[in-house]
Amino acid sequence: MSNITKDPLYYPRTELAERLVVSLKDGISHALTLFAPRRMGKTQFLLQDIKPLAEKMGFHVCYFSFMDTFISGDNQAQGTDIQQAFCQALSTFLTKTVQVKLNKALGKIKTVEIAGMVGVGLDNGKLPVQTSPSRLLQEIAETSQKPVLMLFDEIQELARIKGMQALVKSLRTGLDMYQSKIKVIFTGSSTNGLRTMFNDSKAPFFHFAHALNFPNLGRDFTDFLADIYQQRVGKGLDKTVFFTIFQRLNYTPLYMRTITQNLIIDPELSLEQAVQKTLDEIGFQNENVQQWQQLSELERQILRLIAQGKSALYSQDTRQQLANLLGVEQISSSTIQGKMRKLERADLITRGVGDELKINQPQFQTWLIENKI
């Protein structure tokens, strides 16, 4: 029996999980990419919905987050850390989940003449071996008696960090060669990073996976939380108002869960007090203040306009409006373009359908609007 305590505030996305896992199991697709900004519940969906369902349907499941891996400030060191952690995770999965002896599984791996080799530390006292994602995936595919599902969280980090080309190519090679046995779900929180990974015709993962937007939760989610509040506290919430707050906070599940926790722990709080307490508690203000302080005044004004839904930033009227705000005579289109590129590289803005400009992270837009920055 599992010792994991069920999260009473977790709202399962059972239908979505079933659709994706069945599509992979039946061979409709071998690779999927789910996009949503940070704090929208992708990781919980992978671990609490996809993983148990896939295991129930006969998969061995391996999860790895490229965002959570410990990395140092130096870009080259980041690459080394990620490569070592990733290959160690694959070798651990090969040993424990596929249930084979380490010596038997890795004993055949000698000097591997393939790009992307990194050292993987072993726990059995033997010297490290040289291996690569493609070779580890080969061993997993050939050893496992069940189909395998790889869950790779925040894959865009491989596009952000320099020196990852060999690792990415090796990963693509392994997933390509064994796609009949190994299925994969990627997630990403950066539209710009995912485009670099999957939409660039020169990229190793060009058109490798079927891209899906991770859908926002709807009123059924906030009604679910309101019902739990009523069960625990014995009094109800206005469900329409509660859902309106969810919309106001850019459909971010984390905020609504925390608001519900605060209301249950302190029933004397009003709903608006719980909202403000949550925004303070989560600590996103400090994170966003740090980003904000690193921007020029023109960059801040551009972000304010985008947060308000304005996209015609190159028009004469908008440029004059910005010039007046900054106390200068005029601002050229090329200056706006340069600032936009900088904001895109920093993942603060992105382009949606029809090239519509958007703040890339809902929590950052929430901060801009709620604090009237």
Map 103-139 to HEC letters: HHHHCCCCCCCCCCCEEECCCCCCCCEEECHHHHHHH
Q: pLDDT by residue (tens digit) across 44-79?
A: 999 999 999 999 999 999 999 998 764 444 454 455
Find the mean pLDDT for residues 26-53.
93
Q: Helices 271-282 and 284-293 sit at what angle, rounded to 10 degrees? A: 60
Rounded average pLDDT over 220-240: 96
pLDDT score of 357: 83
Annotate 163-226 with DSSP letters as a single string: T-HHHHHHHHHHHHHTTTTEEEEEEES-HHHHIIIII-TTSTTTT-SEEEE-PPP-HHHHHHHH
Higher pLDDT, 372 or 194: 194
Q: Is the model's pLDDT at 1 over the cut of 50?
A: no
Letter for the amino acid at 309?
Answer: G
Is residue 329 classed exposed, middle or buried when 0-12, 13-18 and 19+ CB atoms within 10 A define those classes?
exposed
Question: Does 122 score more than 50 pLDDT?
Answer: no
CB proximity list for 164: less than 8 A, separation 6 or greater: 79, 82, 83, 158
Tens of pLDDT, residues 324-367? 999 999 999 999 999 998 998 888 888 765 567 888 877 788 87
Of 55-59, 88-92, 156-160, 354-358, give the lowest mean pLDDT range: 354-358
Mean pLDDT, residues 308-318: 86
- What pLDDT is stored for residue 293 in this prediction? 86
Least confident of 4-13, 143-152, 234-243: 4-13
CB atoms within 10 A of CB 177: 14
C-alpha triplet 50, 51, 57: angle, nearest 5°: 85
Length of the chain: 373
- 287-370 and 14-213 share a CATH fold: no
What per-residue confidence (pLDDT) applies to 233? Answer: 93
Looking at residue 119, what is its pLDDT?
Answer: 46
Question: Residue 33 phi/psi, 5° resolution?
Answer: -125, 125
pLDDT, residue 124, reads 46
- Residue type for 371, please? N
Residue 16 has pLDDT above 50, yes or no: yes
Better-scored residue on pLDDT, 102 or 355: 355
Tokens of 86: 């990733």
Decide if pLDDT at 322 tops 80.
yes
Evaluate if residue 110 carries a pLDDT over 80: no
pLDDT above 80 (res 187)? yes
Q: Per-residue pLDDT averaged across 26-36, rounded?
A: 93
**328, amino acid identity:** V
Q: What pTM did the predictor assign?
A: 0.80
Average pLDDT on 179-198 reads: 87
pLDDT at residue 77 in the model: 45
Burial of 4 (0-12, 13-18, 19+ CB in 10 A): exposed
Q: Which residues pair with 149 in a beta bridge?
A: 61, 183
Alpha-carbon span 297 to 325, nearest angstrom? 9
Terminal C-alpha separation, the chain: 50
pLDDT at res. 116: 43
Query: Which is nearest to 250 in space by CA: 39, 67, 46?
Result: 39
CB atoms within 10 A of CB 54: 24
Domain extent listing, the chain: 14-213, 219-282, 287-370
How many Å separate Cα 19 from the centre of its chain? 20
What pLDDT, on a 0 to 100 scale, did the predictor assign at position 114?
34
CATH architecture of structural domain 14-213: 3-Layer(aba) Sandwich (3.40)
For tokens 């006292």, the residue is 125
- Is the per-residue pLDDT at 283 higher than 70? no
Rounded to 10 deg, the angle between the 284-293 and 362-370 helix axes is: 90
Percent pLDDT > 90 in the chain is 49
d(CA 283, CA 39): 13
Average pLDDT over residues 304-323: 88
- Kind plus residue range of the DSSP H or E element containing 364: helix 362-370
CATH topology of domain 287-370: Arc Repressor Mutant, subunit A (1.10.10)
In this structure, of 41-50, 108-117, 144-153, the range with the lowest mean pLDDT score is 108-117
Contact 6, 52 (CB under 8 A): no
Overall average pLDDT of the 168-195 stretch: 90
Rg (CA), the chain: 23
The CA-based angle 68-211-168, given to 5 degrees, is 50
Q: Number of H helices and number of E strands within the chain?
A: 18, 9
- Binned at pLDDT 50, 70 and 90, residue 102 comes out as very low
Look at residue 68 in the predicted model and tell me its pLDDT: 72
* Residue of higher predicted confidence among 185 and 72: 185
pLDDT at 265 over 50: yes
CA distances from 140 to 91, 154, 171 (A): 9, 22, 13
Dihedral sign, Cα of residue 173, residue 177, residue 180, residue 181: negative
pLDDT at residue 71 in the model: 47
Collapsing DSSP states into helix, strand and coil, what is residue 153?
Answer: strand
Helix/strand/coil for 217? coil
34 band by pLDDT with thresholds 50, 70 and 90: very high
Residue 183 β-bridge partners: 149
**pLDDT value at position 100?**
47
